[in-house]
């Protein structure tokens, strides 16, 4: 079982997009039983809020639902629970380290560091462009799955 936690700032835009897209990708491949996939934010600002309408609508285009997801802040226990803590951008890694203090087990990654063009995921909170974010996340997840051996 591979346990993956995607992390952004608010847990309403980018990390839920990664969570539900990855859930769909592993389901398409028939390997969903091998994964636990969740998401969280480094901040508590959006705690309890549903997925942002931009992310919801973008995933809906592909028949993917985000039903039942509400934002939550990452906590220290998550660091023990998950094998891969996958951040959307460098700033999130600082946020994660603020919560857990030290990455003893080297579990923290930045999603697009798995790709051939390492960079941050474009943040739709500022751009309003959820298509760009989707493209970045899709690219990252394909390389991440490859990295995991799929």
Residues engaged in binding ligand 4NP (CB under 6 A): 8-14, 41, 45-46, 125
User: Is 123 a residue of the active site?
Assistant: yes
| 132 labelled catalytic | no
Q: Which residues lie below 8 Å from residue 102, measured CB to CB, with a gap of 6+?
A: none
Q: How far is the CB of 13 from ligand 4NP (least distance, A)?
A: 3
Q: Provide, rounded to whole angstroms, the least separation between the CB of residue 121 and ligand 4NP.
A: 8
The single-letter DSSP state of residue 74 is: -
**How far is the first Cα of the chain from the last one, in angstroms, to the nearest whole number?**
13
Report in angstroms how near the CB of residue 114 gets to ligand 4NP at its nearest.
Answer: 19
Q: Among residues 41 and 140, whose Cβ is nearest to ligand 4NP?
A: 41
Phi-psi region of 61 (alpha: psi -120 to 50; beta: other; left: phi over 0): alpha
14 is catalytic: yes
């Amino acid at each position: 079982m591979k346990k993956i936690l995607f992390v952004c700032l608010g847990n309403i835009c980018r990390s839920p997009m990664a969570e539900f897209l990855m859930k769909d990708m592993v389901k398409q491949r028939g390997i969903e039983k091998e994964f636990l996939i969740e998401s969280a934010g480094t901040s508590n600002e959006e705690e309890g809020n549903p997925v942002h309408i931009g992310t919801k609508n973008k995933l809906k285009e592909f028949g993917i639902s985000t039903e039942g997801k509400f934002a939550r802040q990452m906590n220290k226990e998550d660091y023990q629970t998950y094998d891969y803590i996958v951040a959307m951008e460098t700033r999130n890694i600082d946020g994660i380290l603020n919560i857990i203090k030290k990455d003893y087990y080297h579990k923290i990654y930045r999603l697009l560091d798995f790709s051939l063009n390492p960079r941050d995921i474009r943040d739709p909170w500022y751009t309003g462009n959820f298509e760009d974010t989707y493209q970045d996340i899709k690219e990252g997840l394909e390389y991440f799955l490859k990295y995991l051996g799929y």
